[in-house]
Amino acid sequence: MEKTEEQYEREFEEIEEMFPNAKFTIAINIEELDVIFTKQPAIVVKKSYNCYCYTGCNKPSEYFYISGKNITTKFIINQLIEQGLELDCNHHFIEGFEKVKGSDCQFKIYAGS
């Protein structure tokens, strides 16, 4: 069954309450937050500055190192907040994490506007 607009709004509010110190907006379904994202004991999440917002900026990528047991999406988000991740361009919605080709432990942030 598809969710109503009211249900989406309620979930969005719940997510904001879960992560009050986030310097980005989380656009991930609430059901996905507690699902085990990887069984790897440690991962690296990469933030790139390659969108049109940073054209001509040549800012180097940032890397966030996360380790734990049974890493969930919620755990990743909390670790990114603790490590100071800020999405300060038009692409401030975290929509997920995408595995880097050829690696089992490297992921990049999938951000939208």
Query: 13-40 pLDDT, tens per residue?
Result: 999 999 999 999 999 999 999 999 999 9
Q: Tell me, what amino acid is at 41?
A: P
Mean pLDDT for the stretch of residues 69-88: 96
Quote the strand ranges of the chain, DSSP E: 25-26, 36-38, 42-47, 62-67, 71-72, 93-99, 106-112
Q: Which residue type is seen at 29?
A: N
Whether residue 50 has pLDDT greater than 80: yes
Average pLDDT of every residue of the chain: 94
pLDDT band of residue 58 (cuts 50, 70, 90) is confident
Q: How far apart are CA 77 and CA 86, in angstroms?
A: 12
Rounded Cα distance, 45 and 37, in Å? 13
Q: Is the four-CA dihedral 9, 77, 71, 59 of positive or negative sign?
A: positive
Q: What is the pLDDT of residue 82?
A: 98
20-to-5, 25, 108, 111 alpha-carbon distances in Å? 22, 10, 23, 19
Percent of the chain clearing pLDDT 90 (strictly above):
79
Predicted pLDDT of residue 1: 75
| This prediction's pTM | 0.92
Average pLDDT estimate for 27-56: 93
